[in-house]
Structure 1
Amino acid sequence: MLQADSLLVARNLSLLAYKYEVDMADARTIQEKLFSNPQLYTEWNLYNPTAQKWFDTGKNGQKIVQLQQVFRIAGQRKTSIRLAEEEKRMTQWQYYELARSLKYELHVSFYRYYYLNNAIVNIRSRLDLLKNLIGIYELQYNKGNISLQELTRLKSTYFEINNKVNDTQTELVRLQENLKVLLADDRAIAPRREATDGVVALLPALTLPELLAKSMENRPEIKEAQSIQAQHQLRYSLARKEAIPNLTGGAVYDQNGSYVPNYTGVSVGLQIPLFNRNQGKIRESKIGIAQADVLLQSRRQEITRQVEAAWKIYQLLDAQYKASGTDFEAQLDLLSKGLVSNYSKNNISLLEFTDMFEAYNSSIIEVNQLKADLNKSYEELNYAVGEDLR
């Protein structure tokens, strides 16, 4: 499973594509740290009517050169940088949430494929024995030694179990394709359980309140909502700072157009905040703060319900699995192996054989489905809490 997790991070195309979002957010942070470019203005004489000369820009001509720089005051630049950094953090949390969702999907598909395939492998051997028995009985029927009813009942039993196997194999095909997409691999993927894994995942001794507390600390949706809250607070701060106009400063050179030749001077300018004091953006950002508070509360409420539901489902399935007995599948396997032999020796009747054969082999599928469902409920609880609880 660890190898599959590593391949998911390294190969999954959705994760690789979203990684560019993180890189773009980093680029936006770099951009906000840059200072504004200075502005160069120049004016050149087109025609001097006194000297009757075009482009008279020489020693006795006229030209103006002006250089200006905009200065963001009142901490606007610093606040803009902090806002860009916070947006980058949010993008990182979104990337982490996508990785968690894909990991959950991978684990569920991985273990469901393993257990359902295990059930089919176990049943196939018995179906082969039954198929051989049907072949023998067809020969006996042709010789008139057994009735058509007995042969038909055996075939019906075979087809009924084989249909269940085919339905399960159809699901396995879908699971296999999903695993290929998740791991970006065209080859067939054969999930196998690690030697250190249990038959099903077992939880440590944690209470529901402890799990809820962990979820509030770990879930990236909470971190994302908190980041959105921080962004709106920064936008509000920036909107108030932007109500103070930027300062423009510069230097000017005028060759012959001023009161003295070769005039040089400095310039300072700013807008007078008479009509536009950024009232709309300030109000919008205040509303955004209120919205972010409600969003955070909503996320916490939603996650609480998810943890509670996942906890209850796990407890239900765990109790169901323990009630069936951890060695139930082994017992079914042992009993079903002797069925064909006992029937061929006339130790049991046709009705007993078909009933038990159907029951045993159907139960093998159901037990493995229960194991897959229990592991899925464990992964759902992991996802809801925001960490691996093993």
Structure 2
Amino acid sequence: MYYLILMRIAILIAFLLSFRSFAQDSLRISLRQADSLFVTNNLILLAERYRIDAAQASVIQARLWDNPTLSTEWNLYNPTKKRVLDVGRGGEKIISIEQVIQTAGKRSKQVALSLENARMTEYEFLDLLRILKFELRSNFFDIFFLQNTLNRYQRQIETLQSTVTAFETQYEKNNVSLRELLRLKALLFQLNNDKTEILFQLSEKQRSLKTLLNSNRPLSPLVNETELGHYKLASYDANSLSDLALQNRGDVKVTESIAKQAELNYQLQKSLAVPNLRLGATYDQSGSYVNNYTGLTLGADLPFFNKNQGNIKVAKILIEYRKGGQEQKKNAVHNEVVAALEKVRYVENMVQSVDSKFTDQFELLNKGVLENFQKRNLTLLEFIDLIETYSESIKELNRLKADRVGAYEELNFTVGQELFN
């Protein structure tokens, strides 16, 4: 038990040192600055842009014509003249060139499919941006409210520490009992323990936020009441917000693009059943019925056995499958919007139920607690109860504020648009 207490104290000291370093070296940024740094510095987004470039390069490739084929035939040995590689004026060589001509609009259909795939890659990028931005803002506001809680705890701990120090002096003079001193020390230990838990949470949130912004410095969010006041539910209803989500969200656009690609692939597979033409020319020096023969060649596969039936059937089935996925996505998005809107209403009701004067009254009461305790107007149990109640209420109030902003940001996330500016 004693060993565990020492470990706790060691961890707390380490966190206090890191917190002091944090206060000195932290980067103080607003939400808009964080958004800007995120778009500029996030390594995942930077890497994802290469996928867009690669998809666009595939469109370039799809637009290219097939290369012509050149073939030659050379006389290896002339038994009449007993010459090796007799390809001169009296020898023999054949030169042929052939070009594949795609029929039934295969090339244009391949280009259309590649273009749609490139658009889908851009939609995937937008959806990734939406997801990471939500994570960024969640961490940003969580850190802000956790720091507020931590600052209150720190002031409370400093006040209580001075009280414990004074009680130790009075205990040595036999003016207070050991029971009272130990109870105050236990309360101080409890507050320090709670502070350590907050520091653990802050450390994890800082890790995520620094990774998203590609920064090595601790980040200190700057938030004012005006910005928090922007989070206000206007005359939004679930249906209008669902319509906005279907228009804005990248993941919805991805499912639409996949369904469209299924239709384009079906058209492409049908065109592949039509044989391509092979147009060419041949030159034969002396192997034909006349010397220096030139001829025109025209060829095509005969679609007797393979008419691409299987691929056409698969492509047609996939159209219905992708349409089903598209409808399921629309339903899921609508349900997400409804749930997010309900969360906002729930948390707003909870916030409204808290008296606006509650915080000020509680702060005023807290300021008089120590003074009244020192004057013996409060018993030890009353003093401890008030300290614990204050600390827990501050933590829960900041958690409620964080939940409120988080609910609004989740609604932004589900709609795919900033609704509260």
Retained in 2: the 8 A contact 1:44–1:57? Answer: yes
Corresponding residue number in structure 1 for 2:174: 144
Equivalent position amino acid for 2:100 in 1: V
Corresponding residue number in structure 2 for 1:372: 402
| 3-state SS of 2:222 partner | coil
- Deviation track 1:183-222 (CA, whole Å, cap 9, x = no partner) reads 1111111112156402672222212222122122222121
Q: 1:115 aligns with which of 118, 139, 145?
A: 145
TM-score after normalising by structure 1? 0.97
Q: How does 1:101-250 map to 2 (within 5 A)?
A: 101-194=131-224, 196-198=226-228, 201-250=231-280
Task: Label 1:195 to 1:45 Cα distance change in 2 as closer, same or farther (>3 A).
Answer: farther
CA distance in 1: counterparts of 2:65 and 2:361, whole angstroms: 75
Corresponding residue number in structure 2 for 1:354: 384
CA distance in 2: counterparts of 1:28 and 1:326, whole angstroms: 59
CA distance in 2: counterparts of 1:111 and 1:332, whole angstroms: 24
Corresponding residue number in structure 1 for 2:13: none
| 3-state SS of 1:198 partner | helix
- Deviation track 1:234-287 (CA, whole Å, cap 9, x = no partner) reads 000000111001110011100001111000111110001110001011001001
Retained in 2: the 8 A contact 1:200–1:371? Answer: no
- Deviation track 1:23-57 (CA, whole Å, cap 9, x = no partner) reads 11011111001111110000111111111111111
Identity level (%): 39
CA distance in 1: counterparts of 2:226 and 2:99, whole angstroms: 66
Equivalent position amino acid for 2:307 in 1: R
CA distance in 2: counterparts of 1:123 and 1:332, whole angstroms: 14
2:117 paired with 1:87: yes
CA distance in 1: counterparts of 2:115 and 2:322, whole angstroms: 18
Displacement of 1:134 after TM fit?
A: 0.5
Equivalent position amino acid for 1:307 in 2: V
Corresponding residue number in structure 2 for 1:271: 301
Corresponding residue number in structure 1 for 2:72: 42
2:90 paired with 1:54: no
Q: How well do the aligned residues superpose, as a CA RMSD in angstroms?
A: 1.3
| 3-state SS of 1:64 partner | strand
2:105 paired with 1:75: yes
- Deviation track 1:119-170 (CA, whole Å, cap 9, x = no partner) reads 1112211210110111010110111001122212222222222222211111
Q: 2:57 aligns with which of 12, 15, 27?
A: 27
Q: Which runs of 5+ in 2 are unaligned?
A: 1-30
Corresponding residue number in structure 2 for 1:383: 413
Equivalent position amino acid for 2:269 in 1: A
| 3-state SS of 2:115 partner | helix
CA distance in 2: counterparts of 1:80 and 1:344, whole angstroms: 84
| 3-state SS of 1:275 partner | coil
Retained in 2: the 8 A contact 1:215–1:303? Answer: yes
Displacement of 1:337 after TM fit?
A: 2.3
CA distance in 2: counterparts of 1:361 and 1:199, whole angstroms: 25
The runs of at least 4 consecutive aligned structure 1 residues that moved more than 4 Å come to: none
Retained in 2: the 8 A contact 1:126–1:337? Answer: no
CA distance in 2: counterparts of 1:211 and 1:91, whole angstroms: 25
Corresponding residue number in structure 2 for 1:312: 342
| 3-state SS of 1:253 partner | strand
Retained in 2: the 8 A contact 1:200–1:374? Answer: no
CA distance in 2: counterparts of 1:62 and 1:330, whole angstroms: 106
Task: Label 1:109 to 1:389 Cα distance change in 2 as closer, same or farther (>3 A).
Answer: same
Retained in 2: the 8 A contact 1:126–1:336? Answer: no
CA distance in 2: counterparts of 1:172 and 1:363, whole angstroms: 19
CA distance in 2: counterparts of 1:309 and 1:326, whole angstroms: 27
Corresponding residue number in structure 1 for 2:369: 339
| 3-state SS of 1:283 partner | helix
CA distance in 2: counterparts of 1:237 and 1:230, whole angstroms: 11
Q: How does 1:319-334 map to 2 (within 5 A)?
A: 319-334=349-364
Equivalent position amino acid for 2:392 in 1: S
| 3-state SS of 1:60 partner | coil
Equivalent position amino acid for 2:53 in 1: D
- Deviation track 1:361-385 (CA, whole Å, cap 9, x = no partner) reads 1111110011111111111111111
CA distance in 2: counterparts of 1:159 and 1:201, whole angstroms: 37
Displacement of 1:334 after TM fit?
A: 2.8
Between 1:64-73 and 1:195-204, the stretch displaced more is 195-204
CA distance in 2: counterparts of 1:361 and 1:80, whole angstroms: 65
Retained in 1: the 8 A contact 2:228–2:405? Answer: no
| 3-state SS of 1:206 partner | coil
| 3-state SS of 2:221 partner | coil
CA distance in 2: counterparts of 1:374 and 1:287, whole angstroms: 46
| 3-state SS of 1:245 partner | coil
CA distance in 2: counterparts of 1:243 and 1:107, whole angstroms: 52
Displacement of 1:327 after TM fit?
A: 4.5
Retained in 1: the 8 A contact 2:55–2:114? Answer: yes
TM-score after normalising by structure 2? 0.90
Retained in 2: the 8 A contact 1:200–1:375? Answer: no
Task: Label 1:353 to 1:199 Cα distance change in 2 as closer, same or farther (>3 A).
Answer: farther
